Amino acid sequence: MSADPRVSVHPDSSVLLAAIAARLITKLVDTQDRYGEATVVLTGGSTGIGTLEALAASSARRAVNWAKVNVWWGDERFVEADSDERNSRQAARALLDDLPLDPERVHVPGAAGEFATADDAAADYARRLAEAAAREHAADYSDHRPDEPGALPRFDVLLLGVGPDAHIASLFPEMAAVRETEKLVVGVENSPKPPPSRISLTLPAIRSAEEVWMVVAGEDKAGAVGLALAGAGPVQVPAAGARGRSRTLWLIDAAAAAKVPVELVRKEPASA
């Protein structure tokens, strides 16, 4: 089961980033009230990192118990651990280094130099996801606990940016990774966007998230957003395949919304 997308359009990118940050704070607080902890899957790119910078600037972030937040990434560039190209390194500078996070809850994907290939790093990331799922299962005393742990922990909210070519995470149009239906994490080689080697969650992993938030800004993304929301296939338009189990939000600015069907749009006020 997955949720049909809801589109919220904000006047410009600065309002959008502040609004996403505010939503994320509220989501994490509400989830911690329910479960005692919360899990977020982060994304890179200008909007993903801009969201973290907006969160860093918000005094409301202190409402979150950051020691009980689990952090994962939807994808990572397979380069050296100290490379500025790493999504995790950019996220650390933008926000994470200034938060009282539990280091054991921050799950940084493997880097070149630590693993021989992107496939090896992907296999390690899948192993760590399964171990987290097993720990979560062991701590679950509810009446709805499944008999066996799954291969993924609960993702409360998963953030995704969208490229001008409609790629999400490191799932690019027509490539093998976006066609993957069995594996939850894959190595990606010959990426059309540098660097060429990456690791990425697959569509089945993304669709396991309770909520998926598509965070997009800029006129150069308008075509991709329009195609994704017009019912295109996910192999050609990977962004079309991103759905959350209970909620799918497209949080976009007016420029990115230029080609979205009018009937799908909910415009947010400038003060959002």
Q: Which domain holds residue 106?
A: 5-267
pLDDT per residue as tens digits for the range 171-207: 999 999 999 999 999 999 999 999 999 999 999 999 9
Phi-psi region of 198 (alpha: psi -120 to 50; beta: other; left: phi over 0): beta
Query: Whole-number mean pLDDT of the chain?
Result: 94
Domain total for the chain?
A: 1
Q: Is 158 part of a structural domain of the chain? A: yes
- pTM, full prediction: 0.94
Give pLDDT, residue 137.
78
Per-residue pLDDT band for 142 (boundaries 50, 70, 90) equals: low
33: Cβ contacts below 8 Å, ≥ 6 apart: none
Asked if residue 272 has pLDDT above 90, the reply is no
* pLDDT band (50, 70, 90) for residue 232: very high
Give tens-digit pLDDT for 44-97: 999 999 999 999 999 999 999 999 999 999 999 999 999 999 999 999 999 999
Whether residue 272 is contained in a domain is answered as no
Non-local (6+) Cβ contacts of 136 within 8 A are: 149, 153, 154
Task: Indicate which CATH number applies to the domain containing 172.
Answer: 3.40.50.1360
- On whether residue 63 sits in a domain, the answer given is yes
Residue 116 has pLDDT above 50, yes or no: yes
Could you tell me if residue 230 is inside a domain? yes
**Residue spans of alpha helices (H) in 170-272:** 176-179, 203-206, 222-229
Does residue 38 sit within a domain? yes
What's residue 261's pLDDT? 78
